Structure 1
Amino acid sequence: MKKTILCLAVACYCFTAFKPGRESETGISPDSAAIKEINARGFSRHIGFLASDEFQGRKPFTVGETKSINYLEAQFRQLGLKPGNGNSYFQEVPMIEIKSVPDRRMIFKGQGGQVTADYLTGFVAGTKRVEPKVSLTNSSLVFAGYGIVAPEFKWNDYAGLDVRGKTVVVMINDPGFADSTLFRGKNMTYYGRWTYKFEEAARQGAAGILIIHDTAPAAYPWSVVRSGWSKSKLQAEEKDNNRSRAAVEGWISLDIAKQLLKLSGQSETILANASKPGFKAVDLKLQTSLNITNTIKRSVSNNVVAILPGTKRPKENIIYSAHWDHLGVGEKVNGDSIYNGAVDNATGVAALLELASAFQKAVHRPERSIVFVSFTGEEQGLIGSEYYARHPVYPVSQTVADINMDMMGIAGKTKDIVIYGYGQSELEDYAEVSARKQGRVIVKDPVPSSGLYYRSDHFNFAKVGIPSLFTGSGVDNVLHGREWGLKQVADYTKSRYHAPGDNAEAITDYTGMVEDTRLLFDLGYRLSQQTTFPKWKSGSEFKAVREK
């Protein structure tokens, strides 16, 4: 790309020649001093603090929260950013903590015998109902395929089915994982997410729902399910105390699912048949019972919000976001019980602080306001960002975009950068320009079936119509190549993701996260100097919401 360089006494700005239809390439780029504020030294320092044992895994309602939000407030103050919520850097998020303890065994009975699933190895279960105890009693099991009702894809796994009082057994992901001609092929839709399946089962009136875990379509091993469900879980406070939800929500292992099919006289081909249009739910002629005892705690967690006011259009804002929370202290693995969350997501929070420093150093200040938000409760179901979307500090109609950062730099410095949910908005075009300045390319998610676009905080902004960008670690390492990079991502997912091994000591290369953050800075800076708003692209499920 040809550029004209104008060097001034105080700074050096880059002006990109105007090209028709390429408005995102016009405008002033930030000076080099601002870019250099984003560096490995800063990442190392912030991650070292946030992912230390002292922060106890940064779980909300714990000393880890207190240390995390105080650290962020202190950093924002030191950088000279203003409080983002009136006179406060904090937005309170009312939440409920539920520690669900199910029976140690879940027994499934049929005419030909029974199958016993052991807690944590064969099943996990909990509840969102704010009640001391919930139960399933002789609840009939129904295999409901993927548990999806999607009119736009002409799909209804619950067609003609009455599941009131029953427990539905469903598959993870959506039919596109098995047949690329269905839904969006390998690109998982929200219908494939476990959160959706629980929501739909509740709408259908089911008493219980069990998702069959399978590593490939889930995109993570059983150990991730086990670690997440063995701890207390947080949720937003609802007026009905979540009595509209199914009493029991949980997962079963693929091995247990196969045993259930055999006991019910069904072939395993039923799993493949569930991916075919017109599939009808099957009564498994099995029953199960389960008791869950809950310990309930109400409290308030916090989002952290800071702002750099714009010079010309301060009411228009661009949000950078990254969740500060992780999983806290839990089940021991190799003698370690602290889930430090270095990559997930001390890297994103460090990027947030590095960006704040860079914007403060920019000689030519942004014309729109830049808002920095670090959310609570992402690991518990995107709670903090959901609360913000429902109670926005800054009007949704004046929010230009959300740029979200989560789990950065896994494959080091790369020639590419991943755009999750590719094809959603014009922010991707801005990202392409910024990548080209670095001699890089943007690529689609290498594992689109993981549905990562629906698994981090930007998703709640998208749901209210705000164009949202979520980039991920590239995989084509500049020294070692693409296969090596893919192996780093696979190894992290298998061995460190949501495990005590995700600690600061395991990060030895900051170059990738530095380069990616500089790219996102360039993107947001250009947005901050413009008067237009990026739009959703045709075919995006969020386009109509914004236009409304």
Structure 2
Amino acid sequence: MVLLFAALVLPLLAQRNGVSISPSLNGSLDAINGRNLIGHVQKLASDEFEGRSPGTRGEDLTVKYLVKQFKAVGAAPGNPNGSYIQNVPLVGYRTTPKIELTVDGKPLPFSFLDDFVCDYPRMTSGLSIRAADIVFAGYGITAPQFGWDDYKKTDVRGKLVLVLSGEPSRPLGEDTTKLDPGFFKGELQTYYATREFKYEQARRRGAAGVLIIYDPETSATYAQFQTFAKLEGQNLKPRHGSYEMAIASLVTTDAVKRIFNAAGKNFDDAERSAMLPAFRPEKLGVKADISLSSKLRYFNSRNVVAKVVGSDPRLRNEYVIYTAHWDHLGKDTSLKGDQIYNGANDNAIGTAQLIEAARAFAAMKQKPKRSVLFIATTAEEKGYLGARYYVRYPLYPISKTVANINLDAGNLFGLTRDLASTGYGNSTMDEVLASAARSQGRVFTTGSLDETGGLYFGSDQMEFAKAGIPAVFPWSGVDYVGKPKDYGDKVWAEYGEKRYHQVSDEVMPDWDTKGAVEDTRWFVIAGYLAAQSVERPRLKEGSEFIWISGRPKEN
């Protein structure tokens, strides 16, 4: 069945199903093959590379390999200084946080790891804040787009802000079984629900810290951060003069209920009131002593950047950017047995696809009108830090960046008939991906790959989207050729349960690269279409990134 489908695909690729594709692009796609892809993955995910943690020997080996490969495929240095490197100043930290709570002078049990975990501390070796008031601020969201403001000018300077995870919702008219899609996008998640947005809202208001409430029984997020707490955390080196909160953390629902009960209040009532537009922040009458002890190390990590220059004298100064993070979780020497997080699927394969996409563009006899950048980013696993740094300090003007295509966790389970993305509906890059899929004789799903669209906020494209750049996170679908109907859902669920962010994410003997090859070609076609079109991709009406970035949807 697979061979039959492959035989059918090749003629369709030549016809391109009504999508205008140049012979130069058509020929360059043949340069992409499974042998090269798996070769990159085997190298990058080998024990020799020690899990590719930034600021380690694993980074040195990875960066050296990537530079060598970009040179080998014919992509030029991407930094205007003539190198393939953009230095990214990072701070590594191992922090022991302590938050001591009192109500009317009486201590309230509250322990690190069991009750709260630290996401980001202030970048200092130690600090102490005494008697900070705890304020419940609903969802911690201010979103003029939806007429919503949880803070309502409440002064939270020097206070510890407690906020719900997620975002408000309301029923669709009289139908209580459906959510209003015009209010925080209904069933879909928006950027307003993310930790990063809530942290920034509290930071801008001068809060001492923020605690975001998670229920470990219904969300795996808290357990993941318990794992991260045992590893070195990393952040961008603070900008001079910028304000940092003492602590940005996650807290369990059970701990929050104890806090409310001790204060003589009911958390369930507070949670319900937070769903109402009239909600106002509430001081709980609980004091917090916050102290941190951190071991810090300052170092330069590296984004690896390559470029293929466009052919149009004017449009070559605009850029389509491909990204894929090269980093993973490194080593955990406290583990017995295997201690290396090899990160084969996350994200050696995405990095391999980035290299091979560069090979395809470099091989084109007639380059697209716009230039194309290929950025292997650092520290995605630590909070999209390499991508964030690039957007803050771009090598080429952000205003000249027309699109971002981010490659993370590629399909190594076989060929699919369908293709998808998460975050569908944010920009006209949806239509570009659909055209590219149609040119392959494949179907692009209209709608987000995941039910809520929340996966969109889990990788580097987020940083570009926040800057108002149409950014997509494309994926394979789940309709696998020659496999049972439920194969796709099962194989990805198994990966998530048994290998994702675990030492078992290694090169597997039964991998099938046919899907990864065709998907890489899909990525290349989509990038080519965006780079070739006179009209720039744009944000769509209703995208929160129009509001967050301050850039008009016409770009």
Question: Which TM-score band (shorter chain)?
Answer: 0.7 to 0.9
Residues 440-459 of structure 1 show CA distances to partners (whole Å, capped at 9, x for unaligned) of: 22242243546333332222
Deviation of the 1:277 alpha carbon: 2.9
Residues 268-315 of structure 1 show CA distances to partners (whole Å, capped at 9, x for unaligned) of: 423344233323333333233232112222221111111122233433
What is the alpha-carbon distance in structure 1 between the residues aligned to residue 278 and residue 414 of structure 2?
45
Amino acid at match of 1:124: V
What is the alpha-carbon distance in structure 2 between the residues aligned to residue 526 and residue 109 of structure 1?
60
Match of residue 36 from structure 1 = 30
> Residues 74-473 of structure 1: matches in 2 within 5 Å?
74-86=68-80, 87-103=82-98, 106-110=99-103, 115-125=108-118, 127-159=120-152, 161-176=154-169, 180-181=179-180, 182-214=183-215, 220-240=220-240, 242=242, 244-269=243-268, 270-313=270-313, 314-330=316-332, 332=334, 335-409=337-411, 412-436=414-438, 437-449=440-452, 451-473=454-476
Amino acid at match of 1:529: Q
What is the alpha-carbon distance in structure 1 between the residues aligned to residue 418 and residue 272 of structure 2?
35
Deviation of the 1:107 alpha carbon: 4.1
Deviation of the 1:428 alpha carbon: 0.8
Tell me which moved more, 456-465 or 302-311: 456-465
What is the SS of the residue equivalent to 1:58?
coil
What is the alpha-carbon distance in structure 1 between the residues aligned to residue 420 and residue 336 of structure 2?
32
Tell me which moved more, 250-259 or 175-184: 175-184
What is the alpha-carbon distance in structure 2 between the residues aligned to residue 287 and residue 450 of structure 1?
37
Deviation of the 1:482 alpha carbon: 5.8
Amino acid at match of 1:439: R
1:532 aligns with 2:530: no
What is the alpha-carbon distance in structure 2 between the residues aligned to residue 367 and residue 217 of structure 1?
48
Amino acid at match of 2:390: Y
Deviation of the 1:80 alpha carbon: 1.9
Deviation of the 1:334 alpha carbon: 6.4
Match of residue 5 from structure 2 = none
What is the alpha-carbon distance in structure 1 between the residues aligned to residue 398 and residue 209 of structure 2?
36
Structure 1 residue runs of 5 or longer lacking an equivalent are 1-6, 18-24
> Residues 468-547 of structure 1: matches in 2 within 5 Å?
468-480=471-483, 483-505=486-508, 508-543=511-546, 545=551, 547=554
Deviation of the 1:405 alpha carbon: 0.8
Preserved CA contact (<8 Å) 1:333 1:500 = no
What is the alpha-carbon distance in structure 2 between the residues aligned to residue 203 and residue 15 of structure 1?
50
What is the SS of the residue equivalent to 2:534?
coil
| Percent identity of equivalent pairs | 36
1:57 aligns with 2:51: yes
Deviation of the 1:63 alpha carbon: 0.8
What is the SS of the residue equivalent to 1:504?
coil
What is the SS of the residue equivalent to 2:472?
strand
Structure 2 residue runs of 5 or longer lacking an equivalent are 1-9, 172-177
Cα gap change, 1:112 to 1:419, in 2 (>3 Å): same
Deviation of the 1:60 alpha carbon: 1.3
What is the alpha-carbon distance in structure 2 between the residues aligned to residue 494 and residue 148 of structure 1?
32
What is the SS of the residue equivalent to 2:551?
helix
Preserved CA contact (<8 Å) 2:179 2:187 = yes
Deviation of the 1:537 alpha carbon: 1.9
What is the SS of the residue equivalent to 2:503?
coil
Deviation of the 1:58 alpha carbon: 1.2
Tell me which moved more, 392-401 or 52-61: 392-401
What is the alpha-carbon distance in structure 1 between the residues aligned to residue 216 and residue 489 of structure 2?
17
Structure-1-length-normalised TM-score:
0.87
Deviation of the 1:88 alpha carbon: 0.4
What is the alpha-carbon distance in structure 2 between the residues aligned to residue 261 and residue 37 of structure 1?
61
Preserved CA contact (<8 Å) 2:92 2:298 = yes
What is the alpha-carbon distance in structure 2 between the residues aligned to residue 330 and residue 273 of structure 1?
43
Preserved CA contact (<8 Å) 1:404 1:469 = yes
Cα gap change, 1:239 to 1:434, in 2 (>3 Å): closer
Deviation of the 1:111 alpha carbon: 5.1
What is the SS of the residue equivalent to 2:355?
helix
Amino acid at match of 1:161: T
Preserved CA contact (<8 Å) 1:147 1:201 = yes
Residues 191-219 of structure 1 show CA distances to partners (whole Å, capped at 9, x for unaligned) of: 1111111111112222121111235886x
What is the alpha-carbon distance in structure 2 between the residues aligned to residue 203 and residue 525 of structure 1?
39
Deviation of the 1:512 alpha carbon: 3.1
**Structure 1: 4+ residue segments shifted above 6 A:** none
Deviation of the 1:524 alpha carbon: 1.7
What is the SS of the residue equivalent to 2:381?
helix
Deviation of the 1:411 alpha carbon: 6.1
Tell me which moved more, 176-185 or 421-430: 176-185
Cα gap change, 1:233 to 1:252, in 2 (>3 Å): same
Give me the CA root mean square deviation: 2.9
Deviation of the 1:67 alpha carbon: 0.9
What is the alpha-carbon distance in structure 1 between the residues aligned to residue 503 and residue 204 of structure 2?
36
Cα gap change, 1:395 to 1:161, in 2 (>3 Å): closer
Preserved CA contact (<8 Å) 1:122 1:256 = yes
Amino acid at match of 1:233: G
What is the alpha-carbon distance in structure 2 between the residues aligned to residue 446 and residue 321 of structure 1?
19
What is the SS of the residue equivalent to 2:403?
strand
Preserved CA contact (<8 Å) 2:74 2:359 = no
Cα gap change, 1:447 to 1:66, in 2 (>3 Å): same
What is the alpha-carbon distance in structure 2 between the residues aligned to residue 506 and residue 334 of structure 1?
24
What is the SS of the residue equivalent to 2:473?
strand
What is the alpha-carbon distance in structure 2 between the residues aligned to residue 335 and residue 274 of structure 1?
47
Amino acid at match of 2:251: I
Deviation of the 1:16 alpha carbon: 5.8
Amino acid at match of 2:276: K
Q: Number of residues paired by the alignment?
A: 527
What is the alpha-carbon distance in structure 1 between the residues aligned to residue 232 and residue 125 of structure 2?
14
Deviation of the 1:376 alpha carbon: 1.3
Cα gap change, 1:141 to 1:464, in 2 (>3 Å): closer
Deviation of the 1:338 alpha carbon: 2.1
Amino acid at match of 1:109: T
Deviation of the 1:430 alpha carbon: 1.3
What is the alpha-carbon distance in structure 2 between the residues aligned to residue 215 and residue 36 of structure 1?
47
Residues 349-387 of structure 1 show CA distances to partners (whole Å, capped at 9, x for unaligned) of: 011011122223345443432221111122222222222
Preserved CA contact (<8 Å) 2:216 2:252 = no
What is the SS of the residue equivalent to 2:500?
coil
